[in-house]
């Protein structure tokens, strides 16, 4: 009986700790790593970041989402990190290095001039939908969806290629801890959302 109690005295705290970790990862936050160059210079390949789960998504939020079923080339359990550009109901267009949301030019100070121009290209949602043969060919972001772009636009496989991200696929919003990276890059990730 004493041996059984000793075993329980070790097992119960371990089980409680595992349940707490599982609940935190499921409902509060998780630490994940960036794979690839699509968010440079703001997020580097293999950089660690926190994904905060209960936050509200805003335009320019950097998000992590399950890419399987969104990008036809993504395998199961593949997560992407991208920046929300278009919210549900928004029109989005790119022309001569300028990004327009609902007809108004928006700042892209978080990326270089070359990525704004040559890297982003010239398009509207409607022209992308027709060119890429998306099932939804409207001129606005559909309800329950987001239009996302990588910050390293010239190499990023993003909504310009495969369409919209379903809100149900979003894991959470990326936040860079104060001790990581530089103040400029933290600001480009943490403070850009409007």
Q: For residues 56-62, give the mean pLDDT.
A: 90
Domain contains 16: no
Q: Is-contact 163 138, C-beta < 8 A? A: no
Highest mean pLDDT among 37-41, 58-62, 117-121: 58-62
With vertex at residue 153, the alpha carbon angle to CA 147 and CA 158, rounded to the nearest 5 degrees, is: 35
Query: What CA dihedral angle connects 107, 47, 173 and 99, to 10 degrees?
Result: 20
Domain contains 3: no
Highest mean pLDDT among 22-26, 110-114, 155-159, 182-186: 155-159
CA distance 71 to 132: 12
Sheet (strand 104-106) strand order: 104-106, 98-101, 92-95, 123-124
Instruction: Single out the residue of 28, 136, 158, 131 nearest to residue 88, CA to CA.
Output: 136
CA distance 119 to 186: 22
CA distance readout (Å), 16 to 12, 30, 31, 56, 103? 6, 18, 20, 30, 53
Domain contains 9: no
The pTM of this model reads: 0.83
Residues belonging to the active site: 38, 82
Q: Which residue has the higher pLDDT, 159 or 30?
A: 159
Q: Which pLDDT belongs to residue 157? A: 92
In which region does residue 139 sit, left (phi positive, over 0), alpha (psi from -120 to 50) or beta (all else)? Answer: alpha
- Contacts (Cβ under 8 Å, ≥6 apart) of 89: 140, 141, 143
Of 113-122, 132-141, 153-162, minimum mean pLDDT range: 113-122
Q: Which residue has the higher pLDDT, 17 or 188?
A: 188
The tens digit of pLDDT for each residue in 73-116 reads 999 989 999 999 999 999 999 998 899 999 999 999 888 888 88
Q: What is the mean pLDDT of the chain?
A: 84
Q: Per the structure block, which two tokens stand in for 64?
A: 């992590």
Kindly tell me if the per-residue pLDDT of 191 is higher than 80.
Answer: no
Write the DSSP string, 23-36: HHHHHTEEEEE--S
Percent of the residues in the chain that have a pLDDT greater than 70, as a whole number: 82
Domain contains 177: yes
Q: What range does the domain containing 164 cover?
A: 31-190
Kindly tell me if the per-residue pLDDT of 11 is higher than 80.
Answer: no
Q: Which residue has the higher pLDDT, 112 or 123?
A: 123
Q: Per the structure block, which two tokens stand in for 29?
A: 């936050």
Q: Which pLDDT belongs to residue 50? A: 77
The tens digit of pLDDT for each residue in 136-145 reads 889 999 999 9
Domain contains 14: no
Q: Is-contact 137 126, C-beta < 8 A? A: yes
Q: Which pLDDT belongs to residue 43? A: 78
Q: How many domains does the chain have?
A: 1
Q: Say which CATH number the domain at 74 has.
A: 2.10.109.10
Q: For residues 10-33, give the mean pLDDT.
A: 62
């Amino acid at each position: 009986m004493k041996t059984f109690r000793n075993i329980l005295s070790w097992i119960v705290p371990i089980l409680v700790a595992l349940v707490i970790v599982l609940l935190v990862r499921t409902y509060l936050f998780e630490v994940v790593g960036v794979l690839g160059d699509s968010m440079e210079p703001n997020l580097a390949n293999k950089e660690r970041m926190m994904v905060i789960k209960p936050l509200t998504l805003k335009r320019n939020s950097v998000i992590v989402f399950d890419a399987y079923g969104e990008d036809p080339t993504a395998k199961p359990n593949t997560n992407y990190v991208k920046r929300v550009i278009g919210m549900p109901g928004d029109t989005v267009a790119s022309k001569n290095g300028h990004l327009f949301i609902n007809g108004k030019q928006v700042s892209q100070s978080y990326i270089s001039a070359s990525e704004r121009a040559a890297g982003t290209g010239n398009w509207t949602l409607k022209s992308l939908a027709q060119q890429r043969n998306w099932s939804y060919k409207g001129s606005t972001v559909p309800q329950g969806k987001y239009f996302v772009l990588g910050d390293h636009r010239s190499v990023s496989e993003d909504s310009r290629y495969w369409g919209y991200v379903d809100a149900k696929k979003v894991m959470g919003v990326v936040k860079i801890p104060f001790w990581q990276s530089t103040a400029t890059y933290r600001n480009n990730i943490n403070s850009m959302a409007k």
